Structure 1
C-alpha cells in the first residue's frame, strides 16, 4: 500500500475535522468483492487447465474422431440448442459409447498442473515480502536511525494503532520521496519507509506521523494479507494459466484442424478468447476499485488516530475541457489510488465510501456471469449450490453497497437511492457477459433471441428494489447494537430468491435465448396423463402448457421455490416490530452528534394486511368460479381424463397468481413509500389465504354442491390426496406468483407516476397528527400481532411443505418430449460433413459387419444346398445356425448405432436394418426347419438385404460420405 506524498509542514496541533458519519458502521463489502475475484480466478483456472492440457497432449486423430461422434449423432453446431438437444436425446447411448471409444483422459495431468499452479501461487505469496526486503533493495531502520530517535516514535504509533504484532520497519535508500508502503504477510507485516521521509522526519514530524499511521491503518484493517494473496494468485494465473490458454485458443481459432473445421467453430472459439480478455479487464478494474476504497478507509482511520491533514493538501492540476476531464476519469479507473481531491474531501465527508458507482456494479454482474461459465463443468446435482453461490455474491456485493447508500442518505437527510438503477447495472454486466461469452450464444456470434436475457435483468431489478426498500425499513426500526445482523438477514432473503430463479434459468430458462423450443402438444404430452394432448387444444390448455415450464414447475426443496415466502414474511415481521423511542446503540456509535432516533416509517401495516385479506377474498371468489366452471353432473366420467386432471391442478395456480398480481398492483399504486414491499406483503397474505382455501376445497370436495369437481361423495378427503396438489400450487404461487406480483407492483407504481405527471392526481394529503388515540394504538397492536401470526403461518406452511415426504422428488416429465420433435434439415455442406462422420466413426464398420455376416450366411447356405451326405448337411446346418447368430448380433449392434442425420439416409438405413432383421429371422427358421419353403423365404430375404446394403453404400457415395467403389476385373 503506497503511502502519502510529501507536503508542507502543518501547524502544531492541527487536526482534520471529524467525519459526520463513521464509515465502519456497516461492512464495506470489499471482502466479498475479493472473494468474487478469487473464485473467478480459481474457477477459470480449473476450467482452462484441462482444455490447455488436452490441446497440447491429445492425439489430433482421436480428438477429430471424438468430435466426429457428435456430428454423427446429428448435432449441428450451427443450429439452436433445442434442435441439437432433440438429436442428442435420440442418440444419447450411441454418443456415449462413441465418445468413450475415442476419449482421452488427462485428468491426472490436469490435476498435477493445477497443483503446480497453486503451489506456485503460495510460493509467490510467501516470497514477495522476501524479494521486496532483499539486501540490495532495503536496509533495516536501525542502520538509518543511528541516533535512535525514530524507534520510540514508531513504537508509540504502533501502540496508537492497536497492533498486537508490531511490523518490521525498513528503509528504501533509493526512494527520495517522502512516502511509505506496507506489505508482507498478515503475521509478519513490513512497513518500508522512503529515505526522503526518514531524513525529513524531524522538521516535518506531523507529516511523518500521518504517513506512518496511514500504513499502520492498512495493517489494522487487514488489507495486506488479502491484497497480496490476490496479487500472487493473479500473477500466477496470468502467466501459467491464462497465457497458455490464450495461445491454445489462438491456435485452435487460426491454425489447428482443417479450414472448414475452423470456420465451423469460429464463433465459439472467438467467444472463448473474448471471455479470457474480459477476465483480465474485470479483475484489474475490480481490484483497482477495491484498493482505491481501502486507501480512503486508511486515510480516515489515520485521521481518527490524530494524523494531521496537511499531507493530503497536495495541489492538483485542474483540467479544462470535456475530453481531458473524461480522459482523466477513465485513466483513474485503472489506478489503485484515488485522486488527492477525493481523499481530501473524504476526510470530512466519506460519501465516496457510501456512493453507488456504476462500474463496480457492472463488473460484478460481468464477473458473476463469467464465473457461471467456468463452473459449467460441475455435475448437475450441484446446480442449487451454484445458484446460491452466484446469487449470494451478486446480491451481497450490490446489496451491501445499497445498504450503505441508504444509511448515508437517511443520516444526511438526502433522498434514498433507487434500487432499480443498481439492478440495471448488475443486469447489464450479466447481459454483456452472456452476449460476449459462449454460454448463451453457443456456437453463434449472438443468441437468436437475446431479449430472453431481460428475464435476468428484471429479476435483479426486483431484488435490488426490494433490498433498498427493506434496508430503509430496517434502518429506521432497528434497535440493536449493530446493523450487521439486520443487513445479513436483509441480504440472505433476496439472495435465496434470486437463486431460486437462477436455478430455473440454468435448468430450463436458458434455452429461451434460442427461442421458444416447446410445442403445446409436447408440453401437454410430457405429463404422461391419459388423453393428453387432446385433439382440440383450447386457450386454457395453451396457458397451462406455458405455465408448465415456468418457475414453480419443480416442487423439490432444492429448487428453492420456498424462498418466495421470505420476500414478504421478513418485511412483515420488520413492520410488526415497534420502532425505537430512544437513540439506538448503533446510531450513537455511527453518528455521535445525533440525539434522537431516526423517524419511523409510515405505519401502514394494518392497511397492508387488510389489502391482503381483500385479495384473499378475491382469490376465494376466483377459486369458486373456477370450480363452478369445472363442475360436471357426472364427475366420475371425466375425473380420470388427462385434460381434466391437469386443468384441476392448474386452475388454482392461475387464480392465486392472478390474485397476487392484482393485489400487488393496487397496493403499490396506493402506497407512497416502500411500495414494492407493501405490494409483496399484501400479495403474500393473498397467496397464503388462497392456498388455504384451495386446501379446504380439495379436502371437502363432494360436499360443495355446485362446486364439486372430482367426486359426488361427501366426506373429509385424506391428507395424502389433497396435500400433494396444494404443495404444487404453493410452489407455483411462491416461485411464479412472487415475481409476477413484483412486476405487477412495478406496473402499478408506474401507472401512478404517469397519472401524477399527467396532472390528474390531487395534492398530497396533509400529515396526520402525531398524537395517537387509544383506539389507534390498539389497532396498531392488533396489526402487529396479526402480522406475526401471518408470517409464522407462512413460515410454518412452507417448512411443512418442504419437509413433506416425497417433496424432494424431481419432476418425472421427460424434457425431450416437451421440445419440438421436428428437426431442421442441415445445409448441404453440413449434411456432407455429418454423413462423413457417421460413416467414419462406425457406420461403415457396421455395414461391413453386416456384409460379413451375410457372406457367412451365404457360405453356409451354399454348403447345405450342395451337401452330398447327411453328415455334410448336418455340418452345414451347424454353420448356418452360427451364421444366424452372427446376423442377429450384427443387426442388433447396427440398430444401436446413430440414426443417420439426413432424412433420406435414415430411410435407407432403417430399411437395411429391417431387411437384415428379416434375414436373421428367415435364417433361424431355415436352420430349425430345413425345406423348400423356408429356403425360398431365406433366399428372398437374403436378396433384399444385399440390395439394401448396396443402396446404403450407394447413398453414402453419392453424398460424398465415402469414396465410391471401383470395380475390379
Structure 2
C-alpha cells in the first residue's frame, strides 16, 4: 500500500533494524543447546542413570513429577549419597564450556571456506576475464561510490546462471559479488535494471549483512552435523529401548520431548532466520532506491485469478519459509516501509520459544554441576531476558515510534505480547523441567502465567517507548531505548528466575497444605496458645506465593526500575516543537508532538501516590492501636507477635497502594500501566518511610505503644524490624498495579474525563520547576534507598540459607499406592543400590559373632575372644545407623520388618559391646538372643522382598 503525500517518509534506520540481535539470539540458542545435548549423550554413554536411585527412594514416576519430587525431598540425603556412589559425577565441567567453544571454531573454518566453495560450485570467473574493455568495471566503480563503500568488493561472474540477478557472499571486509550471466546479457539493453540489482547487493555490504548471514549458516551446518543428528539418533535409540523395557517406560515422555526438541529447533531456527532475511531484503531494496535505482525495476509477475481463502492461507504459510519476500511485497515496501515497523505475532512467538529454550538449557547445564542457586538461576534468566529485550523490545520501540511519526495506529502490543507469551509457553512444553514423567504438568493452567508475562512485557515496553519518544529531545532515541530495555530485561529476568522455581512448583501442585504451613510457622515461632491467632492461617495461606515472588535477588530492583524509568521521562520538561531525533528521522514530524497527545504532568501522576502514602500512614496508626489493644499474653512481644504485627502493617500498605493505583487509573486513558505503577509504588515508598518514622517513636504515644513502653528515638531497631519486609513492600504493590491496570484496560471503565483548565497544573508545578524537581529527586532517593536496603537483606539471607540446615517439615506425599509392578521395580532397585550390601554386611557380622561365641550345643563358650567379637558387635551397631540413613523400603510390610530388624540389631550390637567391655556374661547372652531375633527378622524380611519381586515380575 502506498503512502499518501501527506505522510512523512520515515528513515527505516531511525532506531536500528534489530536484526543483529535476532541473529545473535539464534547463535546463542545453538551454542547453549549444543552444550546440553552433548552433556546428555555423554552422561548416558558414561552410564550416568539415576533411575535406580530414583526407584530405590520409593519415587513412582507413574504417579507424576510432584509425587516423585516430594518423595525425594523427604529422603534427600540418602538420594544424594546414592547418586554420588552409583551414578557418579557428571562429565568434567570443562566439557560444558569446551564444546560451545569448539562449535564456533569449527564453524569459523567452514565460514572462511564457504566463499571458495560457492565460487568453485558455481564455476565463477573473474570479471576481468569477461570485461576486456573495462566499461563494466567503470560502471561498477561508480555504483560502489554511490553506495558509499570504503573499498570495492571482488566481482566475479557466473556465466552459466541464466537469471537476471546477482548474489553477494563472503564476509563484510572482503565480500564477493557474483554477477549472473543473464544479468550481464541484459546490462547494455537494460542499464536501469542492472544498476538496481547491483545497488541492492551493495546495500547488503553497506549494512553489514554478509558476515552475520554466512556466520549463522556456518554455525547451523556444524551444529546439525556435529550435534543435532547424533542427538536425534541417540533419542531414537533410547525410545526404542524404552518401548522394549518396562523399567524404562516412565522415561518415555522425557525421551519423546527430547526428540521433539530437535524438530522444534530445526523449525524455529529456519523460520526465525527466514524472517530476518526477508526484512534485510527490504532494507536493501529501499537503500537501492534511495541511491537512485528506479522503483519500476521491482516488477512482480502477473497475478493470476483471485484465489479463495484456503489458497491465500496456504500462500501465507509458504511465505513464512521463504528467505526472500514476494515481489509484490517488495515493490510496495519501496514507498511504504510499514512492513519493516510492523510487529507480527510469529517473530514474537519464535523469540519467546527461543528464550525459554535457552533458559531451560542453561539451567539444566548448571544443575549438573550444582550451580542452581538463586544467583546462577538469575544469571541464566538475565541472558534469556536480555535477548528477548533486544529482539522484542527493539521491534516494539520501532513500531511505536513509526506510528507516532506517521500518525498511524500502532501495532497492537497485545498481539505482540500474546505471541511472545505463547512462545515462552510452547518452549516450556518441549522441555522436561516441569512435566518430567507426564506429558503435561498436573496443572497446565499455570502455564497461562507465561502468556501474561509476555503481554505485560510488551505493554510496558510499548508505553515506555511512547512516553520517552514524547519527552526525549536528543539527536537519537537510542539512549532512551537502551535505558527502557535494560529495565524491561531486568524485570523479565526476575520472571524467569521465579518461573524456574516457584512457578514450576505451582504447575506441579502445592507441596504442602495450609495446615502444614501453620505447623511450620508454629515450629519457627513457638509461644503460648494466646499468640495463635487466626492471622496465622492467613499468613500461611499467602506466604509461599508472596515470598516466592518477592524474596528473590534483584526482584525489588526490577520493580523499582519499572516505575522510576517512566518517572525520569516525565521529569523531563517539554520545550515544545519537534524533537531533534524526529527531525533526523523525517523532514517534518507532523503532529507527532501535538499537545493533545502529551503525557500527563508528573505532579498529577504523583498526587494519587502521595495520598496513598498518607493512607498507609493512617493504616499503620490503626494497626498500632489494634496491636496495643491485644498485647501478648506473656507480657513481652514474641517472635510470632512481631510477625503478625509486620503482616498487618504490610496489609495496610498494600491496601493503600491498591487504592492509589485505582484512583490513578480512573483518571487516565493513555499510559495507564505506567501511571498506575508510579502511583502504587509512590504510595509504597512514602508508606514505608512513614512506617519507619512511626516505629522509631513507638512508645511515645501511649494508645499506640506496641513493641516499647518508653519514649525515645530509635530508628536503628525500627529499621532492623522493618528491613526483612522491604522487598515484599516494594514488589507486591507493583503486582497490584499491574492487575489494576489490566482490569481497567479490559473493562474500559476508566475513562479520562476532560480536565478543566484551572486544574491543569498541580500545586508543585505552581510552586515552580525547582520545587517539583527537588520533590521528585527526594522521592527517587528514598525509593533507591529502600530498594537497595531490601536487596542487601535478600543477598545476605540467600547466602545464609545456603549454609543453614534444612528445618522443613516432612512434606506430604499425596497420591495412590504404586502398582505391583512398580513396587517390584522399586524394591529390586532398593536392594541393588545399597540394600543388598547392607544385608550382606549384617549377615556376615551375625555369622561371625555366632561362630565366635556359640558352642556346638548352642551355649556360650567359656572364653569369648573379645578382640575378635567386639569389632563385629560394633559394626552391627553401625549397620543399624547406616540402615537408618538409607532409603525407606518402598513397600509397607517390608519397611515394618526393616525397622524391626534395625532396632533389634541396634539393641543387640550395643548390648554386646557393653557386655564385652564389662565382662558381663548374662548381658552377653541377652545380646546374643537379641541378635538371633534380628537374624530371624532378617529372614522374614528377605522372604518378603522375594515375594514382592516374584509376584509382579515372574521369571
TM-score, scaled relative to structure 2: 0.92
Q: Find the aligned partners of 1:269 and 1:867 in 2 and give their Cα distance.
A: 61
1:629-778 aligned at under 5 Å gives the runs 629-632=626-629, 634-635=631-632, 637=634, 639-719=636-716, 721-751=717-747, 753-754=748-749, 765=754, 778=767
Q: Find the aligned partners of 1:427 and 1:336 in 2 and give their Cα distance.
A: 25
Change (3 A) 1:634 1:582: closer
Query: Which of the residues 879, 882, 888 maps onto 2:871?
Result: 882
Query: Which of the residues 10, 15, 22 maps onto 1:26?
Result: 15
- Alpha-carbon RMSD: 3.2
Matched, 1:529 2:524: yes
Match of 1:377 in 2: 365
Following superposition, the deviation at residue 766 of structure 1 comes to 7.9
Match of 1:325 in 2: 312
Following superposition, the deviation at residue 636 of structure 1 comes to 7.8
Q: Find the aligned partners of 1:775 and 1:913 in 2 and give their Cα distance.
A: 78
Match of 2:275 in 1: 289
Match of 1:168 in 2: 154
Match of 2:808, SS?
helix
Match of 2:329 in 1: 342
1:57-206 aligned at under 5 Å gives the runs 57-58=45-46, 62=47, 66-103=50-87, 106-107=91-92, 117-134=103-120, 137-206=123-192
Matched, 1:847 2:839: yes
Match of 1:558 in 2: 553
Following superposition, the deviation at residue 566 of structure 1 comes to 1.3
Change (3 A) 1:780 1:113: closer
Q: Find the aligned partners of 1:790 and 1:774 in 2 and give their Cα distance.
A: 16
C-alpha contact 2:32 2:100 (8 A) present in aligned 1: no
Following superposition, the deviation at residue 296 of structure 1 comes to 0.7
Q: Find the aligned partners of 1:790 and 1:956 in 2 and give their Cα distance.
A: 70
Change (3 A) 1:711 1:745: same
C-alpha contact 1:554 1:811 (8 A) present in aligned 2: no
- 1:703-734: CA deviation from partner (whole Å, max 9, x where unpaired): 23222222223222351x32244333220122
Following superposition, the deviation at residue 431 of structure 1 comes to 1.4
1:608-627 aligned at under 5 Å gives the runs 608-627=605-624
Following superposition, the deviation at residue 771 of structure 1 comes to 10
- 1:341-383: CA deviation from partner (whole Å, max 9, x where unpaired): 1111111110001111010011111111122221122221411
Match of 1:577 in 2: 572
Change (3 A) 1:771 1:878: closer
Following superposition, the deviation at residue 467 of structure 1 comes to 1.4
Following superposition, the deviation at residue 932 of structure 1 comes to 4.5
Change (3 A) 1:534 1:197: farther
C-alpha contact 2:502 2:548 (8 A) present in aligned 1: no
C-alpha contact 2:556 2:791 (8 A) present in aligned 1: no
Change (3 A) 1:604 1:774: closer
Q: Find the aligned partners of 1:620 and 1:110 in 2 and give their Cα distance.
A: 53
Query: Which of the residues 335, 345, 351 maps onto 1:358?
Result: 345
Following superposition, the deviation at residue 877 of structure 1 comes to 2.5
Q: Larger deviation: 660-669 or 256-265?
A: 256-265
Following superposition, the deviation at residue 767 of structure 1 comes to 8.0
1:592-607 aligned at under 5 Å gives the runs 592-594=587-589, 598-600=593-595, 601-607=598-604
C-alpha contact 1:388 1:499 (8 A) present in aligned 2: yes
Following superposition, the deviation at residue 784 of structure 1 comes to 4.7
Following superposition, the deviation at residue 129 of structure 1 comes to 0.6
Match of 1:927 in 2: 916
Q: Find the aligned partners of 2:888 and 2:690 in 1 and give their Cα distance.
A: 52
Change (3 A) 1:136 1:424: closer
Q: Larger deviation: 396-405 or 676-685?
A: 396-405
Q: Find the aligned partners of 2:809 and 2:412 in 1 and give their Cα distance.
A: 40
Match of 1:255, SS?
helix
Following superposition, the deviation at residue 244 of structure 1 comes to 1.2
Q: Larger deviation: 585-594 or 39-48?
A: 585-594
C-alpha contact 1:207 1:311 (8 A) present in aligned 2: yes
Which sections of structure 1, spanning at least 5 residues, go unmatched? 1-15, 757-762
1:11-22 aligned at under 5 Å gives the runs 20-22=9-11
C-alpha contact 1:18 1:348 (8 A) present in aligned 2: no
Change (3 A) 1:421 1:619: farther
Match of 1:663, SS?
helix
Match of 1:541 in 2: 536
Match of 1:4 in 2: none
Q: Find the aligned partners of 2:877 and 2:335 in 1 and give their Cα distance.
A: 88
Q: Find the aligned partners of 1:343 and 1:535 in 2 and give their Cα distance.
A: 77
Match of 1:275 in 2: 261
Q: Find the aligned partners of 1:772 and 1:693 in 2 and give their Cα distance.
A: 27
Following superposition, the deviation at residue 416 of structure 1 comes to 3.3
Match of 2:585 in 1: 590
Which sections of structure 2, spanning at least 5 residues, go unmatched? none
Match of 2:155, SS?
strand
Q: Find the aligned partners of 2:729 and 2:179 in 1 and give their Cα distance.
A: 63
Q: Find the aligned partners of 1:96 and 1:339 in 2 and give their Cα distance.
A: 58
C-alpha contact 1:449 1:512 (8 A) present in aligned 2: yes
Q: Find the aligned partners of 2:794 and 2:457 in 1 and give their Cα distance.
A: 31
C-alpha contact 1:183 1:190 (8 A) present in aligned 2: yes
Following superposition, the deviation at residue 866 of structure 1 comes to 9.1
Change (3 A) 1:689 1:389: same
Change (3 A) 1:889 1:145: same
Match of 1:587, SS?
helix
Change (3 A) 1:78 1:706: farther
Following superposition, the deviation at residue 674 of structure 1 comes to 0.6
Following superposition, the deviation at residue 775 of structure 1 comes to 10
C-alpha contact 1:552 1:732 (8 A) present in aligned 2: yes
- 1:600-630: CA deviation from partner (whole Å, max 9, x where unpaired): 5243422222111111122122222222222
Q: Find the aligned partners of 2:706 and 2:312 in 1 and give their Cα distance.
A: 72
Q: Find the aligned partners of 1:803 and 1:389 in 2 and give their Cα distance.
A: 23
Q: Larger deviation: 161-170 or 647-656?
A: 647-656
C-alpha contact 1:299 1:343 (8 A) present in aligned 2: yes
Match of 1:415 in 2: 409
Match of 2:203 in 1: 217
Change (3 A) 1:867 1:916: closer
Following superposition, the deviation at residue 91 of structure 1 comes to 2.7
Matched, 1:958 2:939: no
Change (3 A) 1:532 1:177: farther
Change (3 A) 1:912 1:647: same
C-alpha contact 2:406 2:590 (8 A) present in aligned 1: no
Query: Which of the residues 448, 454, 462 maps onto 2:448?
Result: 454
Match of 1:959, SS?
helix
C-alpha contact 1:575 1:605 (8 A) present in aligned 2: yes
Match of 1:7 in 2: none
Query: Which of the residues 392, 402, 427 maps onto 1:398?
Result: 392
Q: Find the aligned partners of 1:931 and 1:550 in 2 and give their Cα distance.
A: 60
C-alpha contact 1:609 1:783 (8 A) present in aligned 2: no
Following superposition, the deviation at residue 125 of structure 1 comes to 0.9
Match of 1:471 in 2: 465
Q: Larger deviation: 393-402 or 480-489?
A: 393-402
Q: Larger deviation: 632-641 or 882-891?
A: 632-641
C-alpha contact 1:291 1:337 (8 A) present in aligned 2: yes
Query: Which of the residues 901, 904, 928 maps onto 1:912?
Result: 901
Change (3 A) 1:815 1:466: farther
Change (3 A) 1:640 1:827: farther
Change (3 A) 1:964 1:85: closer
Following superposition, the deviation at residue 800 of structure 1 comes to 4.4
Following superposition, the deviation at residue 835 of structure 1 comes to 0.8
- Number of aligned residue pairs: 935
Following superposition, the deviation at residue 112 of structure 1 comes to 7.2
